Structure 1
Amino acid sequence: MPNQDINCKNCENKFDANFEYCPHCGQKVNDKLTVGVLFSNTIKNYFSVDARFFKSFFPLLLKPGYLPSKFIEGKRLLYLHPAQLYLFSSIVFFFLFSFKVSKQERQIRESVKSEKTLKQTIDSIKEYNTTDSLAAATVIKKLKQSQDKTGLKDEELAKLDSIIKGQNYKGDDFMTFGFNESKVDSLIAINAPDSLITKEMGRKEDAGYFTKKAYTQVLKLYKDNGSLASILHSFYDTIPIALFFLLPIFAFILKILFFNKNPFAYHLVFAFYYFSFLFSTFIILLIMNYIWSGFPGFLQFLIVLSTFIYLCIAVKKFYNQSWISSFLKSSLATFIYFVIVIPIAITILSTFAFLAY
């Protein structure tokens, strides 16, 4: 009895019905769609946690320049694709980093709220300014009794004690604004238009669009205690997107330094693997900080320093450079990228986060 042919649902080519997989595209013949299959395929497609991952991860950490060299040589199925390894490591890093960001946001909200409470309390006790220690003690006693309601901390009560006793308190405000806050508070209290309030804050009548927008955002920040945390959140949200532009810039720097060697794609492969190593290193640092609260600072410094040593070794092996040339060019690439490119990128991202939150 002759074998019966069927058509593949994916590529529509004919093949023997006895085959479990299509010989043309590799799709399974009876691949019924279930929730389990759906999520299994998603994990395999985007994370590829298989033998290739372990074959790639350990050489990535321990053998600088090995993976990009092998990829260029043509061994592109034995190890994870450089873009895929970069994507995987960056997703894991930003997932773990999100917990640290959330903690920072809570701390900022609490600090701003605490500072605002302290300012309001200072305004309310100005009339008690006195050198009479008994009167001062009475006021402080009342403040301590209502400490649960006001949320004042012990160090803040100490500051208030100094103010009540007539001592000058210069303050260490978490946030200060360059305008008369009392007048602005009065305008906010009567629901004055934002245009009038920003004018009181110092905005000129003929100010341009971006200046007006900046004053509007400052007013929004002043009104809302959580705005600063929102700005920080917005800033961190833009980093993954920015890296898709910053990584090719690093590859372009390598292209300039090694202008007589290889097309741009070669340098991009090197950059993908190096950034994957950076993310993996930062993942280790985050995990160590989570599980070891007293993680020594000098060890963190040595781990960060190792990323530069790694770069020197990787450059030597991948570009076949001498040790001196590898060190000098790695130093120059690091200086240009982390001292010039990164600060400019941070400035742009900070401005965008402030204007867009």
Structure 2
Amino acid sequence: MSKEKIRPDKTCLNCNHIVAERYCPNCGQENTLSRLSFHHIFIHFFKDLTHYDNAFWKSIFYLFFKPAALTKAYMAGKRLSYLNPIRLYIFISFVTFLMISLFPNNPEKEMTSPSAKHEQVTIPNIDSLHIEEKSVDGLTKVGLLSQQNNDTIKKILEQTDKIDKVKDTQTTDSTPNKEVADFGYKSITELDSIQKHGSKKAQVTDTEYWLLKKWLTVKEENTNEQIVDKFTESFAHNLPKLLFMYMPVFAFVLWLFHDKKKWYYYDSGIFTLHYFSFLLLLVLTLFFIDKIFPLFGNNPVTEWVHFSLKTLGIFWMIYYFFPAHRRFYGEKIMVSLFKSSVIFIINLVVITLLLVLFALYTYNNIH
């Protein structure tokens, strides 16, 4: 029951109908004061999404731990016992977008070039090592090196020793640092030269040229670690957007693989809404796990628990689709396993390619 004060005026502000009690019998609007605080607006928004009752928490529990149970209940007509699929997806998507935007997944690390990581070595000019000439009784006599030149030689030897150590360190560091991907082109200049002057066999299509040029731009401006970090961040930020845009395609693929007379596109659409809501909810859960565990410090116990929870979450994300598909469509185990495997692989490949393309396309905004 609302705690807002009832207006003294019994005329409904929405339809001008006479309101005997709290709610208008004509339109259902609550006859309370129209000027409300921001706190009330926010609470009311959250209340509209979740109903503040068992329907929300029951929906979340079924969605997370009982694959397809929520979809089957909704399709069976139990609409008031659970949250509406669209409202559920909007709420989870809103929270996921908000949390990821407030807490970036991987703050950009300050990286320097390999040469800048080590102490800069300055080698004295060898021309400064001159041999003194002294004139004695009209004869030119080559003098011995002065004490100053002896000190300079010692400095050169010390600096040479440092250079050798730096080279050894760079060799050691560069051993495990392999290229993230190598398509046979060292630079954009080489790609442009081959594209303009190379044989037709060596040239690539316009699409391949765009992709290769984007990739070479990324490689030239970033280290391997930066590339991995930025693409990971791009994945975390773009996955919710991509899932939203990809839902109709996912539902269409599901519809293609099942009996068109028994299963409508609408049915696959409801299944897709619940499945994608689950994916976003699990992404949000893993995101919180990554943010919370570093607060407990780096020790073997917390690292093991952190790794175990992330591994379990990723496994559940992959496995979830298979029992959900079998329970909702009610097919035999082997038939469902075959269909769900094909559907899963097709969509996984397409989504991965779209994420990579989207990351390359939006690279200028993240680098």
Common fold, TM-score beyond 0.5? yes
1:9 equivalent in structure 2: 13
1:278 to 2:269 alignment: no
TM-score (norm 1): 0.66
The partner residue of 1:70 within 69, 73, 77 is 73
1:243 equivalent in structure 2: 243
Instruction: Write the distance in 2 (CA, Å) between the matches of 1:164 and 1:318.
Output: 60
5+ long unaligned stretches in structure 2: 1-7, 127-153, 198-204, 294-301
Shift of 1:76: 1.9
The partner residue of 1:352 within 361, 364, 367 is 361
Q: Structure 1, residues 11-66: CA drift from partner, whole Å, max 9, x if none?
A: x152x432211223332112332222222223223455443211211122232211
TM-score (norm 2): 0.65
1:265 equivalent in structure 2: 266
Equivalenced residue count is: 305
Structure 1 counterpart SS, 2:305: coil
Amino acid at match of 1:40: I
Larger radius of gyration: 2
Instruction: Write the distance in 2 (CA, Å) between the matches of 1:215 and 1:310.
Output: 38
Instruction: Write the distance in 2 (CA, Å) between the matches of 1:95 and 1:105.
Output: 16
Instruction: Write the distance in 1 (CA, Å) between the matches of 2:96 and 2:215.
Output: 31
5+ long unaligned stretches in structure 1: 129-133, 144-158, 180-197
- 1:125–1:164 contact (8 Å) kept in structure 2: no
The partner residue of 2:316 within 288, 306, 314 is 306
Q: Give the RMSD, CA atoms, in angstroms.
A: 4.5
Change (3 A) 1:215 1:329: closer
Change (3 A) 1:98 1:121: farther
Change (3 A) 1:43 1:139: farther
1:342 equivalent in structure 2: 351
Instruction: Write the distance in 2 (CA, Å) between the matches of 1:268 and 1:170.
Output: 50
Instruction: Write the distance in 1 (CA, Å) between the matches of 2:68 and 2:342.
Output: 18
Quote the sequence identity (%).
23
2:84 equivalent in structure 1: 81
Shift of 1:79: 1.0
Instruction: Write the distance in 1 (CA, Å) between the matches of 2:222 and 2:171.
Output: 29
1:22 equivalent in structure 2: 24
Change (3 A) 1:215 1:30: same
Shift of 1:69: 1.3
Higher alpha-carbon deviation: 329-338 or 299-308? 299-308
Instruction: Write the distance in 1 (CA, Å) between the matches of 2:246 and 2:30.
Output: 39
1:36 equivalent in structure 2: 39
Amino acid at match of 2:255: K
1:191 equivalent in structure 2: none
- 1:214–1:355 contact (8 Å) kept in structure 2: no
Structure 2 counterpart SS, 1:295: helix
- 1:248–1:268 contact (8 Å) kept in structure 2: yes
Change (3 A) 1:85 1:23: same
Amino acid at match of 2:331: Q
Structure 2 counterpart SS, 1:293: helix
Change (3 A) 1:332 1:217: closer
1:188 equivalent in structure 2: none
Higher alpha-carbon deviation: 47-56 or 260-269? 47-56
Instruction: Write the distance in 2 (CA, Å) between the matches of 1:296 and 1:334.
Output: 27
Shift of 1:330: 1.6
Q: Structure 1, residues 159-187: CA drift from partner, whole Å, max 9, x if none?
A: 8614289x9789467989935xxxxxxxx
The partner residue of 1:321 within 331, 340, 360 is 331
Instruction: Write the distance in 1 (CA, Å) between the matches of 2:87 and 2:286.
Output: 22
Change (3 A) 1:241 1:306: closer
Change (3 A) 1:252 1:37: same
1:119-138 → structure 2 map (5 Å cutoff): 121=120, 138=158
Q: Structure 1, residues 272-302: CA drift from partner, whole Å, max 9, x if none?
A: 1112222333333334443343336465434
Q: Structure 1, residues 211-269: CA drift from partner, whole Å, max 9, x if none?
A: 799869977996799x9677776665443322212222221111111133321111111
